[in-house]
Chain A
Amino acid sequence: MTALLSVRDARVHFPLTRGVLRREIGRVRALDGVTLDVAAGETLGIVGESGCGKSTLARCVTALQPVTAGRVLFEGTDVAALSRTGRKAFRRDVQIVFQDPYGSLNPRRRVGSIIADPLAVHRVASGEALRRRVRDLMDLVGLDPSHADRFPAEFSGGQRQRVAIARAIALRPRLLVCDEPVSALDASVQAQILNLLRDLRDELGLTIVFIAHDLPAVRYVSDRVAVMYLGRVVELAAAEDLHARPRHPYTAALLAAAAATDPAETGPIATGGGLPLLQGEPPSPAAPPPGCGFHPRCPRATPLCRREPPPLISRPGAPAHLAACHHVPEHAALPAGPEAGS
């Protein structure tokens, strides 16, 4: 597996300051040691609750946010050490679709001009060729090309997200980061946008990092899924494997929560693998608990969990399924054992 994107122990700590002297009184550990690879052509899903560091990871991967420690490598090159021309090429190769389709489009510009922006910035096309490219792009994402002269306010949320996607794929990027692209949309529109992303991936051969807090959406588009909690990856596995055999209690709880809101989905995960639905809120990343970050909410927690942070490792029999838990049930490692008894 040749990795297009590699994240190595990436950390982003924001200092908390007080007073005019900006004395540091603490740190928010938005990202606290994330390591993962994205292979060319694959779609990696990233799920987690609000505040788990998903968006920070997206901003690090797109070099919009520098890492405090660790490295982000694109094709083996550290993005923090890119030269001017290297950075320009990186911006061409890596594009992002943001969560908020209302905020991410300048309300004072026509959508044709917004979509043309990356092409104009990188001087890929101009004049009539540029207008033709914009029309083609609008067509590709399912927008009426004759609406290029309209303003974002004249479009619905789903259409605006299509505009944002058209802008992001205008340069044929090699990596597309989607930071909760459907979270702000109506349920019926979400499916359309997810289908569009899947179609574009197949048509353009895109590599996608797809971030969401909604497991079913992530499962629908992703080959592999990383589950994040409190700035760390707690489980990383093929999408189907993760759903069938969650190893981390947090993943199991997320699956249970998804099932509880979806009456159509029944079966073993409807009981959360024997786990109750999650109680309470995740701890503040400014004051993470010692040991495993999940232990205050975990039914399996033992004194070991309160003391030692568990490493993200695979178990015998399933080398591609990583989990950061001291107490992975033995039978969960077996290929055919979706039931996780208590």
Chain B
Amino acid sequence: MNTIPVGASRRDFLWQSGGGLGGIALASMLGQAKGNGAQGTHHPAKAKRVIQLFMAGAASQVDLFDYKPELFKRHGQPSDLKGKIEAFQDGLGPWLRPIWDFAPKGQCGKMLAEVVSPLGKVVDEMAFVHNMTGKTGIHSQATYLQATGFQNPGFPGMGCWVSYGLGSLNQNLPTFVVLPDHRGYASNGTKNWDNAFLPGQHQGTILRPGTPSPLPDLFPRNVDTVEFSGSEKEARALLGKSDRIFASSRLDDSRIDSRIRSYELAAAMQLAAPEAMDLSKETKITQELYGIQPVGTPFPKEINLPEEADAMGRKCLVARRLLERGVRFVQIWSGCDNGFPRRNWDSHEDISRDHGPLAGGMAVAVAGLLADLKQRGMLEDTVILWTTEFGRLPCSQGGKGRDHNPYGFTSWMAGGGIRGGISVGPSDDFGLAPAEPAKATQVYDLHATILHLLGLDHTRLTFRANGVDRRLTDVHGKVMSEILA
């Protein structure tokens, strides 16, 4: 989707696009670029699109991906956490063994917890990073950090930067799409994907598949349709005609034409968006691959795995369809606000109760997504990033739960340019923190690596805002060469 900044002379535009130091931002070069964004990258790209999976509330590394035999051995013994550890609440109880057993999976033999064992069939595509470290145990700041690279509000999400850096691959869908948890937003709401200081077209657009207006204002509300849809075609024609007369006396101003064009694009989007989200176009086999149940299937009232798999599966399948149609960046959220009853990963009280259905459902859907992308040949140029705002402590909180752990957690990547079947950056024997603190991985490194795979140098993708040349990676970040294929 192309959008045109208004009111800017070419010089203004270069300035606003971060070109103040003489460099022309990619965005401006790609303003006219059609099709493959690779024409304007800093170096040849390995991938051209991204899916980010965000587990909101903080997913437990030791119960899912980071196998720690020591915890099984020491279960119930008093925990002695090394280093300066502060619990967010009072979760410094005895060691708590992983809730599920682990078994080796795939050619690589990666140990996965039973609850995420469906991912075993695609684990050879995945690269685990077990030495992630954050800066805070407060959900909001930590979510901002993972989503935007800064702890406080006011910065664009990663998808906004990718949109800004690479532009669009299509004409009639947004560049950066967000699929929030259907029950509500995570900490910070829409601020996790807002464009902040970047021009508006780079903001994440929320899509709500299966609703009457899956994209904001795609159509008038039903109550308005009666009066306004009868002469829709004539009304558009009248608007176009009047605007062309207006433009004819202001020929030196291309914005007036651009605006006429934006209404034509809007009409195209009315056709393209519902089509992109129509899962009935998919075969039953494909739907089952993602864990999707037939429409109208009743679910129990309590949180349960089949329902979670269905909800996540629908988002993942919509994501694949969007990517096929040229959407550049899709962000999928699992988990809404950290309230009760838990529909989020913030398992202070009971890991099994919440992580069971959430992780189990996620594993079914995401395994389906990776397998499907692979069989369609799309995995090779799509990067998948699985992330969360921080991890959970290896000791117990109140017996069955775990408190926040910003010191160490796990993320994983897969797809375009990623070496699959590996685990890097080990954590310590208990999964509390990186084994080698000096080599800890931070969000800046994940972001730098993803931009690198997309052909962008994270130190050169900048935008001037309130006097500062801003970057997704602030003043940090290094490309993680050990996970590159």
Decide whether A and B are members of one complex: no
